[in-house]
A and B are shown apart, each in its own frame.
Chain A
Amino acid sequence: MSLSINIWDRDAECLPREELRQLQLKNLKNTLSLVAAKVPCYQAKFKESGFQPGDLKSLADLSHLPFTTKDDLRVNYPYGMFAVPMRKVVRIHSSSGTTGKPTVVGYTKEDIRTWTELVARFMTAAGVTQEDIVHIAFGYGLFTGAFGLHYGSEAIGASVIPISGGNTDKQLMIMQDYRSSALVCTPSYGLTLADRMEKQGMDPRSLALRVGLFGAEPWSEQMRVELEQRLGIIATDNYGLSEIMGPGVAGECLYKQGMHLAEDHFLAEIIDPDTGAVLPEGSVGELVLTSLTKQAFPMIRYRTRDITRLDYKTCECGRTLARMEKTRGRTDDMLIIKGVNVFPTQIEEVLFQIEGCEPHYQLIVERENNMDSLEVQVEVNEHIFFDEMKQQRQFVVQAEKRLATVLGVSAKVKLVEPQTIKRHEGKAIRVIDRRNQ
């Protein structure tokens, strides 16, 4: 198979691996010195491990340092992990945390430049050029997705339509009238658009649409086939997380043989999630990332909780950067609903706040007409049972409101009778995800 291949930054993306390793080592040393000087959380980690930045002789030595987890970010909320003073920070983004508080990340001007470059790389790899009109249907806001793709598109010289999320009919009108050629959204929203086109009798092949860059939630190969066939496009995957940078951490080229990881900016390890041991090349395990060039929010051995595998063979496209397989799942119980990270513990906390007791609950996630829906079933107990319907309804409405605020995604609350939620060895089963059934 021969495809027309464009490479945004050939020097970086096709760097011989030995040179890449030298670059990584140099930048890793700099990053370790930076955090050892500026970030108390890392100072404590160096102390705990007895390992100092000066002890680093090879990339493998990194394994002497402890991991950084979402919990560290929670404890240091909001700015405790920043390595530069706020006057150097030009942007704040955030994502949902494991409990009530979100995760806050910051960028310096230089960080934004790096981010822009890395997004331009994977967008170019996916076939986007300055001729394209990029339709960005990610929500603009604290979420990193929209801004990342926005910067990358502008860097390439493409025309950006920052339409943001929602209002599907308007999306279609603009897509048709403005001749959008590249679509950026979650894969599930891509299917929603396809459904709506079908309903309206709009032929996707009559549109200018030719590529789709889908991210922010995991999706299967079957979904790729469906998106490509129904929208008449080439569909590529990309990966990122706000703690590391946002989109741009990794992205597919047109060969679709895994997502090229920006290894010159992020050092990747694959670990055994149970023991924390670094696994040999080619193993399936949890992805751990260390930022090598970030200024405002450096991350050392951040546990992404995503399960994947890395392939270090040079790709047919010529890039030497390792390719990351589509994520196979999570090592924690995080769910991604409509592109939003949701942790069952957040729901527990909301329910606890409302009634001061810990009710039994279960999350049912379904996908109807390609839209995710979340239902929270709560077992009624005497603390949350009211003899008056008005109060009982009010409890449900209040819980739904609070959940929407905390989770950033709407949830339907359904009260069920005691003992109806199935328990496994005494423990309630918290999540039923029916989306891939």
Chain B
Amino acid sequence: MKVEQISIFIENKSGRLAEVTGILGETGINIRALSLADTSDFGILRLIVDDSKKALKVLREQRFTVSITDVIGIEVPDSPGGLTTILQILDQNNVNVEYMYAFAERSGNNAIIIFRFDNIDEAISALSSHGVKILPSERITSI
């Protein structure tokens, strides 16, 4: 259920993002989802790719500082209040969302949201017990 997400430290200067995507592209790694958190000095680029092991290896070879984090992906109905239900479940179970980002599926009516929690296992059990469907890792890496 857990999805491996790659985080990369990048300085906030022009061309750095393109360098990362360039390295991945040349190695034949496909980016599935992406989010960037930034400050004026630096940013943390988070990626979900089709081959995280390989991505980790090539980025480290290119001297990037990289880490792997477990996240989960949830399909959220594309209707008003869809996300609220999920957040309420998490809140009731005292699970904190560290960050999240959303993207749309290529075809279909649902949005997919990637969540990073302070306690991922508790989050999974809370969501599962309320019938929220957590997407299998392959579903996300092969979108």
Contact = CB atoms under 8 A, between A and B. Distances in A.
Interface of A: 380-382, 385-390, 392-393, 414-420
Given A415-B9, A415-B42, A417-B11, A388 B99 contact: yes
A381 to B, nearest CB: 6
A418 B8 CA distance: 12
Given A387-B44, A387-B116, A417 B37 contact: no
Given A380-B9, A389-B39, A415-B11, 19 more contacts: A381-B65, A382-B66, A385-B9, A385-B67, A386-B44, A386-B67, A387-B7, A387-B69, A387-B116, A388-B99, A389-B37, A392-B42, A393-B39, A416-B42, A417-B64, A417-B65, A418-B63, A419-B63, A420-B11
B41 interface: yes
Task: State the 4 A-B residue pairs at the shortest beta-carbon distance, nearest first.
Answer: A387-B7, A389-B37, A387-B69, A380-B65
Interface string B1-36: 000010101110000100000000000000000000
Interface residues of B, number: 21
B122 to A, nearest CB: 17
Contacts of A414: 41
Contact of A382 (B37, B42, B67): B67
Nearest to A390: B98
Interface in B42-88: 42, 44, 46, 63-67, 69
A389 B44 contact: yes
A387 B46 contact: yes
A388 B37 CA distance: 9
A171 to B, nearest CB: 32
Given A387-B67, A417-B9, A417-B64, A392 B44 contact: yes
B58 to A, nearest CB: 15
Q: Which of A385, A387, A390, A392 has the most CB of B within 10 A?
A: A387
Interface in B87-114: 98-99
B11 A416 contact: yes
Contacts of B7: 385, 387
Interface string B105-140: 000000000001000000000000000000000000
A393 B41 CA distance: 11
Contacts, number: 51
A414 B65 CA distance: 15
Contact of A417 (B10, B69, B116): B10
A414 B64 CA distance: 17
Nearest to B69: A387
A169 to B, nearest CB: 28
A418 B99 contact: no
B67 to A, nearest CB: 6
B100 to A, nearest CB: 12
Nearest to A379: B65
9 contacts: A381-B65, A385-B9, A385-B65, A387-B46, A387-B69, A388-B116, A389-B37, A417-B10, A417-B11
B65 A382 contact: yes
B104 to A, nearest CB: 24
A424 to B, nearest CB: 19
A389 B99 CA distance: 9
A415 B69 contact: no
A393 to B, nearest CB: 7
Contact of B65 (A389, A390, A393, A418): A418
Q: Which of B9, B10, B11, B44 has the most CB of A within 10 A?
A: B9
B64 A388 contact: no
B41 A415 contact: yes
A232 B80 CA distance: 72
Nearest to B98: A388
Contacts of A415: 9, 11, 41-42
Contacts of A388: 44, 98-99, 116
A382 B63 CA distance: 11
A34 to B, nearest CB: 54
A389 B41 CA distance: 12
A379 B37 CA distance: 19
A418 B64 contact: yes
A393 B42 CA distance: 10
Nearest to A392: B44
A42 to B, nearest CB: 49
Contacts of B67: 382, 385-387
A415 B39 CA distance: 11
